[in-house]
């Protein structure tokens, strides 16, 4: 990590340090903002003491970051078009990075202060969009050139649909538990609140099996949160480093000979695949001209990449310009593969192209282990501070009655599975919104009336987060650009 500061002047080193600090601060805020998602149900069902629950959440958030992969991380990086990311000069890159981070941090702290379970993901994505928009205005670029529209649409879809999915699935889980416990009346304890159980049986703590189920589902939420939100922090640091120190981070300079050979082989396999399908694709020209144009674009980029990597087995042998070109070519090839697979091709070809794309991006979509570790530490340490404000909202202010064991379990199981699937498929979702909507869904399905004022405030925060963070980052970026 110290090598980041070894070849830059004092001012540049200071800016790098500040940028990394801002990312880690954002991730720590994300930790205590979202801790409530994992521990509120444990605390309010008395399955675990608050201090122990928070420590446990921190540990499994850490493990989620370390073991969660990088698919979500690079979804965040690719929200900004590759050309914008690589063509910024160092001052513009710094302005871009600090505007994104400051906008996201300001909104997250504001919603935390007012006890609103708002989305850190929404604020981050909105801040990135704001940068793209103001860059388009200042450079006279079109909206398509300023933003990676397909990626943004995919992210928007997931952010809008995930709370609805959480609401519905959590409600279904509750109805299923009701159906099961109708046959086994001894299991009816699961539908009691801690106060009701204490009044009936004099027990302050939940029965052992219920307690185990609550703890395991809470672990699932913590791990999934680390895997999804931790990757956003990794993506942010990579965005910072690619923008500010491109020569060292455009491609993985530590890539082994085996990994580089694998990339070259994948390029060769892809070239053969398109050569074999040339006549078929040309025939489709009359049906779909876009497919035809994609074919020739990808062939051109494959040829340039082969020339660039000829006799190269160590990326350090490439100069900075060549590293720029290599990253650009590989990302363009991957994007063209995505476009080709969206057309009517058979399943075996889609699988082949998907695997080939993964191999091609292996040395471009990467993160040094030190980045993963410091993000994991920032997120897990952040979970142990400032969590009480949001816990109270989720635990006490969503339903008019206190949470039952079944409602807590349904919300946590729904959240951990949904966020876990999203993390490993590269979809950045809002842990906060999924958990909040899952709690609401479980309570509604169980006949527990919800507090309209709280739900209204959560929805207002949900609706406002994107536009406010877009405006904040746009304003900060515009002001910074006018000063430099």
Q: What is the pLDDT along the chain (484 residues), one digit of tens a residue?
A: 655 555 556 666 777 788 888 888 888 887 777 766 677 777 777 888 878 888 888 899 899 999 988 888 888 887 776 666 666 566 677 788 888 888 988 888 887 777 666 677 778 888 888 888 887 777 666 666 666 677 777 777 777 788 888 888 888 888 888 888 777 666 777 877 777 777 777 777 788 888 888 888 888 888 888 888 888 889 888 888 888 888 888 899 999 999 999 999 999 988 888 777 776 666 655 445 555 556 677 888 888 999 999 999 999 999 988 998 899 899 888 887 776 666 666 778 788 888 888 889 989 989 999 999 999 999 888 877 766 666 666 655 565 667 788 888 888 888 888 888 887 777 777 777 787 788 888 888 877 667 777 677 777 777 788 888 889 988 888 888 777 6
176 located within any domain: yes
Give the C-alpha distances (Å, rounded to integers) separating 359 from 157, 177, 269, 330, 334. 27, 44, 11, 10, 10
Residue 409 has a pLDDT of: 84
226 located within any domain: yes
CA angle 225-190-204, nearest 5°? 90
Phi, psi of 328 (to 5 degrees): -60, -45
Domain that holds residue 242: 10-247+368-483
Residue 287 has a pLDDT of: 47
DSSP category for residue 311: T
Instruction: Name the domain boundary from 340, 361, 382.
Output: 361
- Rounded distance, CA 166 to CA 176, Å? 15
Give the C-alpha distances (Å, rounded to integers) separating 387 from 29, 176, 180. 10, 31, 35
2 located within any domain: no
- Rounded distance, CA 104 to CA 235, Å? 14
Same-domain check for residues 312 and 398: no
Residue pair 23/101 in contact by the 8 Å Cβ criterion:
yes
Same-domain check for residues 197 and 275: no
5 located within any domain: no
Q: Which of 16, 427, 43 is nearest to 243 (CA)?
A: 16
Same-domain check for residues 27 and 74: yes
- Rounded distance, CA 231 to CA 423, Å? 8
Same-domain check for residues 473 and 420: yes
R_g over Cα of the chain: 24
Same-domain check for residues 20 and 89: yes
34 torsion bin: left (phi>0), alpha (psi -120 to 50), beta (else): alpha
Same-domain check for residues 344 and 388: no
Residues 6+ apart with CB under 8 A from 346: none
Q: What totals of helices (H) and strands (E) does the chain contain, helices first?
A: 21, 0
225 located within any domain: yes
47 located within any domain: yes
Instruction: Name the domain boundary from 361, 393, 424.
Output: 361
Q: Which of 171, 169, 44, 166 is nearest to 442 (CA)?
A: 171
Residue pair 125/428 in contact by the 8 Å Cβ criterion:
yes
- Rounded distance, CA 12 to CA 19, Å? 11
Same-domain check for residues 372 and 354: no
461 located within any domain: yes
What is the pTM (predicted TM-score) of this model? 0.82
Instruction: Name the domain boundary from 335, 361, 387.
Output: 361
Q: Which of 132, 133, 103 is nearest to 120 (CA)?
A: 103
- Rounded distance, CA 192 to CA 78, Å? 46
Residue pair 212/45 in contact by the 8 Å Cβ criterion:
no
Same-domain check for residues 122 and 138: yes
Same-domain check for residues 342 and 392: no
Tokens at 134, concatenated: 């103001």
Handedness of CA 77, 81, 86, 91 (dihedral sign): negative
Give the C-alpha distances (Å, rounded to integers) separating 331 from 90, 270, 303, 312. 22, 14, 14, 19
Same-domain check for residues 130 and 165: yes
Residue pair 71/420 in contact by the 8 Å Cβ criterion:
no
Residues 6+ apart with CB under 8 A from 359: 262, 263, 265, 266
Residue 342 has a pLDDT of: 61
Give the C-alpha distances (Å, rounded to integers) separating 442 from 176, 408, 464. 11, 8, 25
213 located within any domain: yes
Same-domain check for residues 315 and 399: no
Count: domains in the chain: 2
What are residue 399's DSSP bridge partners? 450
**Cβ atoms within 10 Å of 73's Cβ, excluding its own:** 28
Same-domain check for residues 225 and 104: yes
Give the C-alpha distances (Å, rounded to integers) separating 344 from 153, 284, 287. 22, 11, 11
């Amino acid at each position: 990590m110290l090598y980041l500061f070894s070849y830059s002047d004092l001012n540049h080193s200071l800016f790098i340090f500040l940028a990394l600090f801002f990312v880690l601060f954002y991730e720590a805020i994300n930790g205590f903002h979202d801790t409530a998602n994992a521990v509120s149900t444990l605390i309010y069902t008395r399955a675990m003491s608050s201090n122990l629950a928070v420590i446990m959440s921190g540990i499994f958030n850490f493990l989620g970051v370390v073991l969660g992969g990088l698919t979500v991380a690079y979804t965040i990086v690719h929200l900004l078009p590759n050309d914008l990311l690589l063509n910024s000069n160092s001052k513009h890159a710094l302005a871009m990075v600090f505007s994104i981070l400051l906008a996201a941090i300001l909104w997250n702290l504001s919603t935390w202060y007012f006890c609103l379970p708002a989305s850190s993901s929404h604020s981050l994505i909105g801040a990135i969009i704001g940068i793209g928009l103001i860059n388009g205005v200042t450079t006279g670029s079109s909206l398509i050139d300023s933003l990676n529209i397909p990626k943004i649409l995919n992210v928007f879809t997931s952010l809008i649909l995930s709370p609805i999915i959480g609401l519905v699935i959590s409600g279904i889980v509750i109805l299923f538990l009701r159906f099961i416990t109708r046959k086994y009346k001894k299991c009816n304890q699961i539908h009691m609140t801690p106060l009701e159980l204490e009044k009936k049986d004099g027990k302050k703590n939940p029965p052992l099996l219920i307690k185990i189920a609550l703890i395991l589902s809470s672990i699932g939420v913590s791990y999934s949160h680390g895997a999804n939100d931790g990757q956003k922090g990794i993506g942010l640091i990579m965005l910072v480093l690619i923008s500010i120190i491109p020569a060292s981070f455009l491609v993985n300079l530590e890539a082994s000979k085996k990994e580089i050979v694998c990339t070259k082989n994948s390029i060769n396999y892809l070239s053969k695949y398109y050569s074999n399908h040339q006549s078929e694709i040309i025939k489709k020209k009359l049906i779909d001209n876009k497919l035809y144009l994609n074919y020739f674009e990808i062939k051109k980029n494959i040829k340039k990449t082969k020339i660039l990597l000829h006799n190269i087995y160590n990326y350090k042998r490439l100069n900075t310009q060549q590293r720029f070109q290599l990253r650009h070519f590989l990302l363009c090839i991957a994007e063209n593969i995505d476009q080709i697979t969206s057309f009517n091709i058979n399943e075996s070809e889609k699988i082949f192209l998907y695997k080939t794309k993964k191999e091609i991006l292996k040395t471009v979509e990467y993160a040094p282990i030190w980045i993963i570790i410091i993000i994991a530490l920032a997120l897990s340490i952040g979970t142990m501070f400032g969590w009480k404000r949001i816990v109270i909202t989720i635990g006490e202010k969503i339903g008019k009655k206190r949470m039952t064991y079944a409602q807590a379990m349904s919300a946590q199981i729904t959240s951990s599975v949904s966020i876990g699937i999203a993390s490993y498929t590269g979809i950045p979702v809002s842990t906060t919104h999924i958990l909040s909507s899952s709690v609401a869904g479980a309570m509604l399905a169980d006949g527990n009336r919800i507090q309209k004022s709280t739900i209204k405030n959560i929805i207002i925060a949900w609706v406002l987060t994107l536009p406010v963070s877009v405006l904040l980052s746009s304003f900060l970026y515009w002001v910074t650009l006018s000063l430099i």
